[in-house]
Every structure is written in C-alpha cells, then in structure tokens.
Amino acid sequence: MLDHIRIVLVNTTHPGNIGAVARAMKNMGLADLCLVEPKHFPDEAATARASGATDILDAARVVGTLEEAVGDCQLVVGTSARGRHIPWPVIDPRELAAIAAPLSGQSRVAILFGREDRGLTNEELHACHLHVHIPSVEGFSSLNIAAAVQVVCYELRMAVLQDVRAERPQWGTDWDIELADHVELERLFEHLERTLVDIEFLDPNNPRQLMPRLRRLLLRAVPDKVEVNVLRGILKMVDRAVAGELRGQRVGRSKAD
C-alpha cells in the first residue's frame, strides 16, 4: 500500500545508518530505497544494523545524482530543519502522510534525507515541492537520519491504517471474551454485598458509600464474563471460609460441623 513511496538518502556517511533506515522502512511496510552517492555501500555495518531487512538493502538502487533518484516522481519532498533563508512550504510528517499515502496508484513520491552533518543543500531543497520538518526542540533539532526515516515511515503507516480504523473512543475490552451484561454484574454486586456483610466489613445499618465505591471501581473496568466468573468464584470461597468449611479449618470446629 506504500509501494509508491521512495526513500532517498543523499550522500550518507555512515553505512550503519543505511542499514537502520532499511530496518525502519521494512518495519513500516516500505520497500523502495535509493542511495545517492553513499560513502560506503554495500558494507557489513549496514547489513548488521538492518537486522534482517537485507532484502531492502539488496534491492536498493545506488545512483550518482539526485536527478536519477527522483526523475520519475511526481511529488518530491525534502526533509529540512527550519529557518532556511528562502521560505518554502513546510509541513510536518503527519501532514506529509495525509498528502502522500492516498497517492498510491496515482503518483510516485520521493522523500529525501540529507547528510548526517549538513542535511540537504539549498539546491537540493529547491528541487522539492514541499519541505517536511520533524518538530524537534530548538537548540537540539537534528535527528539521527534513521530516526527521522522512522518517524516519517511511521506516519505513513498510521495514515494507511487509519482509513481502516474506527474512530470511536475505547470502551470495554478489545479481546474476544464477551462483556458481562447488566444482570451478571448486578448478581455480582449482590453477592459481593452479602459477603462483605458476612465478613463484617460492611455494616448494613451504616453502609456509607462502600457499595457505590466498589460498583464504580468495577464498572470502570467494564469486566468480561470470565472476569465476573472469577470474582464470583472468589466470593464463594470467602463464603466457605466464613462458614468454616475450608479444609484447613475443619478439624475441631463444633459449630461448623
């Protein structure tokens, strides 16, 4: 779904970073990597840091100019720190993803990442339709190149997944056991109340706000059916303890016998 997106690394110095970029891309479902004049590639350090994303490294295209890397792309985006002297349209990675992810099947997109020490040149940035800026802290704004690729690819993947995702707020559990219904919960609370009286924690003549507090706590958690059964099981065993029916209590108890 993101196969129309190409990650372009310009003049990367450290091959380890190229490997880390390949890993970040593969984690997020991207595959098209293009390297413009890398200092060292292929390289063992790249393979090591790719940590299994060697298919991305093997398929990476190595070219001599930016032109060759982006010539077939309709949208070219350069990553940049703020404050270049000619203002350019600047977006953040989320906005980039909102623009680029839906272009699948229509347009090819290149996202450029510059040198570790100096980023992209002004000339390279002026070849771009848009600049993307990761909103880092002023005074410590330069991300590691693989970290920057990770953030951009993460936003692209989130944009793809969010089309599928419902936007409702979380309620209840998100696993496969059915939620307890009202009747099951009320039976649980009745049982709990009886047991609390039996263990002399709840004084029926002065109940204060105890049951409302416990109801509120459990209702916040929105228990499933298995959880309600577990709690009922615990209450039954407490009832037996109160009645002196546990194995450990049986001997010598005239009243319980």
Cβ within 8 Å of residue 219, ≥6 positions away: 185
String marking each residue 43-72 x if it binds a second copy according to CB under 8 A: ------x-xxx-------------------
Give the amino acid at 126.
Answer: H
Span between the terminal Cα atoms of the chain, in Å: 71
Smallest gap from Cβ 189 to a second copy, in A, equals 14
Q: Is 240 in the site for a second copy (CB under 8 A)?
A: yes
Q: Is 183 in the site for a second copy (CB under 8 A)?
A: no
Q: Is 154 in the site for a second copy (CB under 8 A)?
A: yes
Comparing CB distances to a second copy, the nearer of 66 and 153 is 153
Q: Is 1 in the site for a second copy (CB under 8 A)?
A: no
Q: Is 184 in the site for a second copy (CB under 8 A)?
A: no
Specify the DSSP class assigned to residue 112.
E
Smallest gap from Cβ 64 to a second copy, in A, equals 29
Q: Is 156 in the site for a second copy (CB under 8 A)?
A: no
Among 3, 59, 82, 199, binds a second copy (CB under 8 A): 199
Give the amino acid at 110.
Answer: A
Contact predicate 159/98, CB 8 Å? yes
Residue-wise burial string across 80-117, b where 16 or more C-beta atoms lie within 10 A, e elsewhere: bbeebeeeeeebebbebbbbbbeeeeeebbbbbbbbee
Smallest gap from Cβ 63 to a second copy, in A, equals 26
DSSP 23-89: HHHHHTT--EEEEES-SS-S-HHHHHHHTTTHHHHHH-EEESSHHHHHTT-SEEEEE--S--SS---
119 to 148, contacts with a second copy by CB under 8 A?
134-137, 140-144, 146-147
Specify the DSSP class assigned to residue 6.
E
Q: Is 211 in the site for a second copy (CB under 8 A)?
A: no
Among 5, 12, 15, 26, binds a second copy (CB under 8 A): 26
Give the tokens for residue 68. 């060759």
String marking each residue 219-238 x if it binds a second copy according to CB under 8 A: -xxxx--xx--x--xx--xx
Q: Is 255 in the site for a second copy (CB under 8 A)?
A: yes
Comparing CB distances to a second copy, the nearer of 20 and 33 is 20
